[in-house]
Amino acid sequence: MPENIVIIGAGQAGQQAVQSLRSEGFKGAITMVGDEDYPPYQRPPLSKAYLLGSFERPRLFLKPDSFYAEAGCELLLSTSAKAIHRADRTVELTDGRLLAYDKLLLATGARVRKLKCPGADLPGIHYLKTIADVDGLQAVFQAGKRIAIVGGGYIGLEVAAVGAKRGLDVTVFEAMDRLMARAVSPQLSAFYAAEHEKAGVKLKLNTGVEGFEGGAKVERIKAGGQTYEADIVLVGIGVIPCQELAEAAGLACTDGIVVDQNARTSDPHIWSAGDCTRHTGREGQEIRLECVQNAIDQAKHAALSMTGKPKTYSEVPWFWSDQYDLKLQIAGLARPTDRLVQRGEPASRKFAVFHLRDGVVAAVEAVNAAPEYLVGKKMIAEGKRVAAETLADTAIPMKQMG
What distance in Å separates the CA atoms of residue 122 and residue 245, rounded to the nearest whole number? 29
Q: Is 290 a binder of ligand FAD (CB under 6 A)?
A: yes
Cβ proximity to ligand FAD: between 196 and 401 the closer is 196
User: Residue 312 in 3-state DSSP?
Assistant: coil
Exposed e or buried b per residue across 90-108, where buried means at least 16 C-beta atoms within 10 angstroms of its C-beta? bbebeeeeebebebbbbbb
What distance in Å separates the CA atoms of residue 299 and residue 17, rounded to the nearest whole number? 5
Exposed e or buried b per residue across 181-192, where buried means at least 16 C-beta atoms within 10 angstroms of its C-beta? bebbbebbbebb
Which residues on adjacent β-strands are paired with residue 61?
A: 41
Q: Is 149 a binder of ligand FAD (CB under 6 A)?
A: no
Q: Is 147 a binder of ligand FAD (CB under 6 A)?
A: no
Angle between helices 12-23 and 292-306 (to 10 degrees): 40
Q: Is 195 a binder of ligand FAD (CB under 6 A)?
A: no
Cβ proximity to ligand FAD: between 164 and 302 the closer is 302
Chain mean position to CA 80:
22
Cβ proximity to ligand FAD: between 34 and 344 the closer is 34
| Near ligand FAD in 23-82, by CB under 6 A | 33-36, 43-44, 46-47, 80-81
Cβ proximity to ligand FAD: between 155 and 188 the closer is 155
Give the containing element (helix H, strand E) for 92. Answer: strand 90-93
Q: For the chain, how long is the longest CA-to-CA vector?
A: 67
What distance in Å separates the CA atoms of residue 314 and residue 303, rounded to the nearest whole number? 15
At 76, which amino acid appears? L
Cβ proximity to ligand FAD: between 247 and 345 the closer is 247
Report which DSSP code applies to 242.
-
Question: Can you tell me which of 107, 257, 341, 363 binds ligand FAD, judged by CB under 6 A?
Answer: 107
Q: Is 315 a binder of ligand FAD (CB under 6 A)?
A: no
Q: Is 379 a binder of ligand FAD (CB under 6 A)?
A: no
Question: Can you tell me which of 141, 271, 319, 351 binds ligand FAD, judged by CB under 6 A?
Answer: 319
CB-CB contact of 96 with 262 (8 Å) = no
Which residues on adjacent β-strands are paired with residue 321?
A: 328
Cβ proximity to ligand FAD: between 81 and 401 the closer is 81
Instruction: Write down the least CB distance from residue 387 to ligand FAD, Å.
Output: 31
Instruction: Write down the least CB distance from residue 241 to ligand FAD, Å.
Output: 9
Q: Is 161 a binder of ligand FAD (CB under 6 A)?
A: no
Cβ proximity to ligand FAD: between 43 and 282 the closer is 43
CB-CB contact of 90 with 98 (8 Å) = yes
Contacting range for ligand FAD; rule: CB under 6 A; set: 106-114, 189-197, 221-229, 305-313: 106-114
- Residues in the interface with ligand FAD (CB under 6 A) total 36
What distance in Å separates the CA atoms of residue 132 and residue 36, rounded to the nearest whole number? 9
Give the residue from 276, 388, 306, 293 showing the smallest Cα distance to 333. 293
Question: Can you tell me which of 115, 125, 148, 155 binds ligand FAD, judged by CB under 6 A?
Answer: 155
Q: Is 20 a binder of ligand FAD (CB under 6 A)?
A: no
Q: Is 169 a binder of ligand FAD (CB under 6 A)?
A: no
Cβ proximity to ligand FAD: between 14 and 332 the closer is 14
DSSP H helices, 26-153, are: 49-52, 65-70, 131-138
Question: Can you tell me which of 9, 156, 281, 332 binds ligand FAD, judged by CB under 6 A?
Answer: 9
| Near ligand FAD in 244-273, by CB under 6 A | 245
- Shortest-Cβ-distance residue relative to ligand FAD: 11
Question: Can you tell me which of 19, 20, 307, 321 binds ligand FAD, judged by CB under 6 A?
Answer: 321
Report which DSSP code applies to 38.
S
Angle subtended at Cα 292 by Cα 49 and Cα 233, rounded to the nearest 5 degrees: 50
What is the contact surface with ligand FAD in residues (CB under 6 A)? 8-14, 33-36, 43-44, 46-47, 80-81, 107-109, 128-129, 155, 242, 245, 274-276, 290-293, 295, 319-321
